[in-house]
């Protein structure tokens, strides 16, 4: 008889991925479907919740066409975070969902910070005041779209939408999918009355929240027919994709941090005790026990792709990245005097400045595209190395190694650069789909294979391949990092003035 499997369904910003996992963490089949992302106005990023539903069903249907569905014993969802649907009483969208990339609410950020206090928001939600969480877009909607705000019966995350679609019943989600809204008290594990009262939002307009691994429902007959899943297959509370990625790399020990070299660069380390700091944002861990202290840079591989698409003719040539890598390897540390601040979408930790912008410094007539390419990688890398050191200073615990996932982990240059700049091994995970694996681990516990989610992580994470640092390069990267830190202070005011100027010019033109 074929070995049983569980499914980790990862509904990310650009696609849905359904992957079947065995109890040893082996991927035996997968299905995928794209999700469209809309950018209707400067700084606005939106999606249709129906596209999440359709993509999830398509990915599951693709998966179940490759294996015997009777092998499937459970499913859990990993979802993109800080993305919010606005549904009426019948579950239909009253407006497109706002995505975590959205920047429409800078005024509301400051208004709520003044009304509630930055420290209060930070202590309750674990998140420094920043434009990304849903809280500020809710305040924007209340002010700018009051009729739609009132018409909305449910403000919810991606997991809530998918669980309702597959299982029916009342809206429900997991703690670690609720906490990115910045409406959730992450110590009490409940919606915060203090914050809800500030935006006059009834708790009845939010989903029920449950511990990761809790059974949220069963696949309905209709969803089973549409997806190929077994009828009554249990669906367990999963979590946000960042937390699930940490779980998928078995980062359940403070000595091991994960780093996702993906669209955004996200690194996190598990800690048993609650703490808040501008050095990181604090989130409920995917296993429900303890917290993840997370660093995030919105412009990761997105920025590399942007550069290639805008200035090098695009990614239609599959060899473009191999050529850039080969040429960049021949350059010295520091890209012969070119420095990039990779803050195309503002900067989160440690500055929490949504109005700073990316800069390319030091250009001369001797420089070409490869210098900028390498400088982008170096800017991201020295930011990340410094972010980890700041977290260590707050916690008093040393991070001994990274586990790298995401497409960027396939770059020999980038992963060696990170090892050299940080002075710690970069261990390459056996799967780039750590978020889906983390969801699979939760489903494996829910299905009864393991006594805890942590036990599932230990059994399913698999081996890693370490990339050791070259100590001879550390001094050069430390000096580059010092220059990088000075660059923010030197350019922040200029960037703020440019943003304000561009906003005025755009309004005048319209």
- The DSSP code sequence of 34-82 is E---B--STT--EE-HHHHHHHHHHHHHHHHTTS-GGGEEEEEEEE-SS
Average pLDDT over residues 270-296: 96
Q: What is the pLDDT of residues 459-485, one digit of tens each?
A: 999 889 999 999 999 999 999 999 999
Per-residue pLDDT band at 510 (split at 50, 70, 90) = low
Confidence at residue 1, expressed as pLDDT on a 0 to 100 scale? 60
Q: Which H/E stretch holds residue 468?
A: none
Global pTM value: 0.92
509 or 64, which is more confident? 64
Average pLDDT over residues 79-107: 95
Confidence at residue 437, expressed as pLDDT on a 0 to 100 scale? 97
> Which tokens sit at 363?
């250009």
> Which tokens sit at 11?
């509904």
Per-residue pLDDT band at 207 (split at 50, 70, 90) = very high
C-alpha 230/C-alpha 69 separation (Å) is 6
Confidence at residue 365, expressed as pLDDT on a 0 to 100 scale? 97
Confidence at residue 430, expressed as pLDDT on a 0 to 100 scale? 83
Confidence at residue 81, expressed as pLDDT on a 0 to 100 scale? 95
Q: What is the pLDDT of residues 226-264, one digit of tens each?
A: 999 999 999 999 999 999 999 999 999 999 999 999 888
Give CA separation, 136 vs 11, 208, 427, in Å. Answer: 23, 21, 37
Confidence at residue 173, expressed as pLDDT on a 0 to 100 scale? 98
Peptide bond into 370 cis (omega under 30): no
Per-residue pLDDT band at 162 (split at 50, 70, 90) = very high
Per-residue pLDDT band at 302 (split at 50, 70, 90) = confident
Average pLDDT over residues 149-177: 97
Q: Is the pLDDT of residue 444 over 70?
A: yes
| Residue pair 324/375 in contact by the 8 Å Cβ criterion | no
Q: What is the pLDDT of residues 402-441, one digit of tens each?
A: 999 988 888 999 999 999 999 999 999 888 799 999 999 9
């Amino acid at each position: 008889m074929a070995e049983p499997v569980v499914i980790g369904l990862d509904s990310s910003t650009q696609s849905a991925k359904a992957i079947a996992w065995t109890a040893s963490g082996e991927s035996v089949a997968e299905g995928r479907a794209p999700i469209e992302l809309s950018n209707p106005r400067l700084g606005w990023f939106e999606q249709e919740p129906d596209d999440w539903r359709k993509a999830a069903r398509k990915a599951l249907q693709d998966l179940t066409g490759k294996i015997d569905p009777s092998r499937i014993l459970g499913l859990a969802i990993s979802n993109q975070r800080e993305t919010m649907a606005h549904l009426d009483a019948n579950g239909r969208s009253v407006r497109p969902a706002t995505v975590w990339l959205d920047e429409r609410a800078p005024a509301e950020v400051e208004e709520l910070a003044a009304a509630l206090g930055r420290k209060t928001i930070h202590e309750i939600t674990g998140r420094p005041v920043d434009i990304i969480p849903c809280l500020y877009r809710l305040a924007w909607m209340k002010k700018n779209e009051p009729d739609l705000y009132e018409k909305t019966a449910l403000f919810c995350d991606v997991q809530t939408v998918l669980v309702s679609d597959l299982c029916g019943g009342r809206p429900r989600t997991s703690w670690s999918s609720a906490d990115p809204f910045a409406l959730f008290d992450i110590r009490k594990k409940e919606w915060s009355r203090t914050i809800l009262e500030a935006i006059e939002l009834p708790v009845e307009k939010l989903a029920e929240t449950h511990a990761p691994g809790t059974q949220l429902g069963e696949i309905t007959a209709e969803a089973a027919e549409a997806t190929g899943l077994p009828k009554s297959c249990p669906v367990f509370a999963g979590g946000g994709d960042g937390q699930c990625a940490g779980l998928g790399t078995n980062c359940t020990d403070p000595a091991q941090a994960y780093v996702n070299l993906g669209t955004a660069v996200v690194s996190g380390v598990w800690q048993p005790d609650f703490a808040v700091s501008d050095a990181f944002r604090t989130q409920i861990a995917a296993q429900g026990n303890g917290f993840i202290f997370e660093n995030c840079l919105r412009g990761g591989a997105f920025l590399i792709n942007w550069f290639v698409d805008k200035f090098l003719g695009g990614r239609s040539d599959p060899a473009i990245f191999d050529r850039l890598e080969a040429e960049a390897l021949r350059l010295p540390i520091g890209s012969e005097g070119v420095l990039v601040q990779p803050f195309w979408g503002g900067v989160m930790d440690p500055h929490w400045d949504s109005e700073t912008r990316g800069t390319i410094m030091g250009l001369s007539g001797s420089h070409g595209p490869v210098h900028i390419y390498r400088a982008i990688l170096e800017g991201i890398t020295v930011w990340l190395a410094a972010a980890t050191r700041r977290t260590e200073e707050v916690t008093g615990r040393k991070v001994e190694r990274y586990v790298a996932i995401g497409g960027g982990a396939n770059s020999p240059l980038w992963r060696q650069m990170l090892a050299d700049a940080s002075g710690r091994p970069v261990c390459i995970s056996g799967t780039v789909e750590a978020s889906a694996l983390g969801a699979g681990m939760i489903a494996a516990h829910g299905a009864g294979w393991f006594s805890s989610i942590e036990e599932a992580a230990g059994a399913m994470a698999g081996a890693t391949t370490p990339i050791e640092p070259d100590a001879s390069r550390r001094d050069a990267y430390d000096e580059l990092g010092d220059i990088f830190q000075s660059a923010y202070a030197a350019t922040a005011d200029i960037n703020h003035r440019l943003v304000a100027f561009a906003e005025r010019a755009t309004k005048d033109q319209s």
